[in-house]
């Protein structure tokens, strides 16, 4: 089953009088459980593509289907729900909530979901914190953690809702190569164990090397779709 399907997607940004095309007629399919990298130089449209898939932005033309739903047909509220329930985000700058500790940060999306019992919340939060190896740092605030640790918290937060898709925008850009490597390893492991679809945007060769599929973008257009494989 196709988890993500883009057909003839156009995205244009308007800078005053000038219309800047960010994506030109992009069509692609990503299957369930794929570990995919979108590669390309800066300005090639990687983040734009990720934003469209992540339902935080809408296309100017064409259609984006995420988990079977056409995002253009969803209301703001439905898009938010879709993000909450189906998508996990891992940001380049980690984007943890500074006033919450590790545990609370990971628990945050579960609290937004409302229908999860306290017991299950605790189990899930503990499980994923353990999974990212931060069980000894549960009470720490983000500013008490290293960059790698923070990104691990972000990964736990992205996974705790058991999303179908995890989107990671340059997840290693703010990390040294060794830490970056361990983060990639962690995500691969989760991909293998949880069957979660991972979609990266990166121009980090280290990450690209580990991808099972590489979609190359240049100037807003697909250069190559790469091989599909799980």
Partner 1 sequence: MLLWKLALRNLFLHRLKTIVIGMIIVFGTTLAIVGNSIVDAISGGMQNSLTNSITGDIQIYSAEAKEQIAVLGSMDGNMPDIGHVSDFKKVKETLITQVPNIKDIIPMGINTAMLNPGNLLDIKLEELRHAFEAPAANALRIAALKQHLQAIIKDIERSQRDNEANLGGIYGGKKLFENAPRDIATSLSPSFWKDFDAHHEERIEFLANKMAPLIFDDNQLYLSYIGTVPELFQASFPQFEIASGEMIPAGARGFLFSDYVYENQVKHRVARRLDQIKKKIDQDHMSIKAAKELQDRIKANRDQAAEIYTQLEPPRIAILLPRLQEFLKSQTTDIEGLVKEFLAMDDQNFGLRYKFFYDEIAPYILLYRVKIGDTFAVTAFTKSGYSSSVNLKVYGTYRFKSFESSPVAGAVSIMDMVSFRKLFGFMTSASKAETAALNDEMGIKDLDPTDVSAMFGTPAVPDIAKHETPEFSLTQLSQGRFGNIDAARRETTTQYTRDEMENGIFLNAAIHLKDPSRLSETLENITRVSKEKSLGIQAKDWRDSAGMIGQLTVLVRGVLYLFVLVIFGVATFIIMNSMLMATLDRRREIGTMRAIGAQRSFLLKLFLRETFILSFVFGLIGTVIGVTIVLVVGSKGIPAMGDVSTFFFSGDRLYLHVNPLPILIVFVCMTLVSIVSTQYPAWRAMKISPLEAMQHSD
Residues within the interface to partner 1 (CB under 8 A): 47, 50-51, 54, 56-57, 76-77, 80-81, 83-85, 89, 91-93, 95, 97-100, 104, 107-109, 111-113, 157, 161, 169-170, 173-174
Sheet architecture: strand order including 197-202: 87-90, 165-169, 197-202, 35-39, 213-218, 221-224
- In this complex, which beta carbon is closest to partner 1, that of residue 126 or of residue 174? 174
Q: How far is the CB of 217 from partner 1 (least distance, A)?
A: 16
User: 133 is written with which tokens?
Assistant: 């190896």
| CA 198/CA 207 separation, integer angstroms | 12
- In this complex, which beta carbon is closest to partner 1, that of residue 100 or of residue 208? 100
For residue 162, count other CB atoms closer than 10 A to its CB.
Answer: 13
Q: Which residues contact 99 (CB under 8 A, 6 or more apart)?
A: 141
Q: Which residues contact 103 (CB under 8 A, 6 or more apart)?
A: 125, 129, 138, 139
DSSP tally for the chain: helices H, then strands E: 7, 10
Q: How far is the CB of 65 from partner 1 (least distance, A)?
A: 19
Q: How far is the CB of 230 from partner 1 (least distance, A)?
A: 27
- In this complex, which beta carbon is closest to partner 1, that of residue 80 or of residue 182? 80
- In this complex, which beta carbon is closest to partner 1, that of residue 92 or of residue 197? 92
Q: How far is the CB of 188 from partner 1 (least distance, A)?
A: 23
């Amino acid at each position: 089953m196709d988890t993500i399907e883009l057909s003839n997607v156009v995205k244009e940004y308007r800078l005053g009088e000038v219309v800047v095309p960010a994506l030109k007629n992009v069509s692609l399919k990503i299957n369930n459980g794929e570990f995919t990298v979108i590669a390309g130089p800066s300005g090639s449209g990687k983040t734009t593509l990720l934003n469209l898939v992540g339902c935080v932005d809408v296309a100017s033309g064409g259609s984006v289907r995420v988990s079977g739903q056409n995002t253009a047909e969803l209301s703001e509220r439905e898009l938010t729900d879709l993000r909450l329930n189906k998508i996990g985000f891992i940001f380049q700058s980690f984007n943890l909530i500074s006033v919450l500790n590790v545990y609370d940060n990971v628990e945050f999306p579960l609290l937004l979901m409302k229908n999860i019992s306290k017991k299950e919340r605790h189990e899930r939060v503990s499980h994923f914190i353990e999974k990212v190896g931060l069980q000894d740092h549960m009470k720490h605030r983000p500013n008490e953690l290293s960059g790698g640790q923070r990104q691990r918290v972000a990964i736990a937060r992205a996974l705790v809702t058991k999303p179908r898709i995890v989107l990671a925008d340059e997840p290693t850009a703010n990390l040294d190569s060794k830490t970056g490597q361990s983060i990639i390893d962690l995500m691969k492991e989760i991909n293998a164990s949880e069957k979660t679809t991972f979609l990266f945007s990166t121009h980090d060769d280290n990450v690209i090397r580990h991808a099972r599929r590489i979609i190359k973008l240049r100037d807003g257009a697909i250069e190559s779709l790469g091989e599909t494989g799980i």
